[in-house]
Amino acid sequence: MLFYFIIFTVVGFFIGSMNQNNEKQALVIIIIIAVLWTIGHAPIWGLASLGEMVIGYFIFKMSQ
């Protein structure tokens, strides 16, 4: 569980860093990844991955 938390938080951080000028695009990418994770596994894991990627994204935004 901790492994996935770290992975998705880092993914969210890198998505934010790659899309610095376009916040909407970064959030759409995060939502698409979460939906794909939901389809592949279960809705609760999609919701968890969404939250973890958003945490990573906001960590990046606060570090600017």
The pLDDT assigned to 1 comes to 85
Cα dihedral 31, 51, 27, 42, rounded to 10, equals -10
Q: Report the C-alpha gap between 7 and 41 in whole angstroms.
A: 16
33-60: per-residue pLDDT in tens? 999 999 999 999 999 999 999 999 999 9
Tell me the pTM.
0.90
The pLDDT assigned to 18 comes to 93
Q: What is the mean pLDDT of residues 14-38?
A: 93
The pLDDT assigned to 20 comes to 86
For the chain, helix (H) and strand (E) counts, in that order, are 3, 0
Q: Which residue has the tokens 């492994």?
A: 3
Domain ranges of the chain: 2-59
What tokens were used for 59? 């960590």
| Residue type at position 61 | K
Percent of the chain with pLDDT over 70: 100
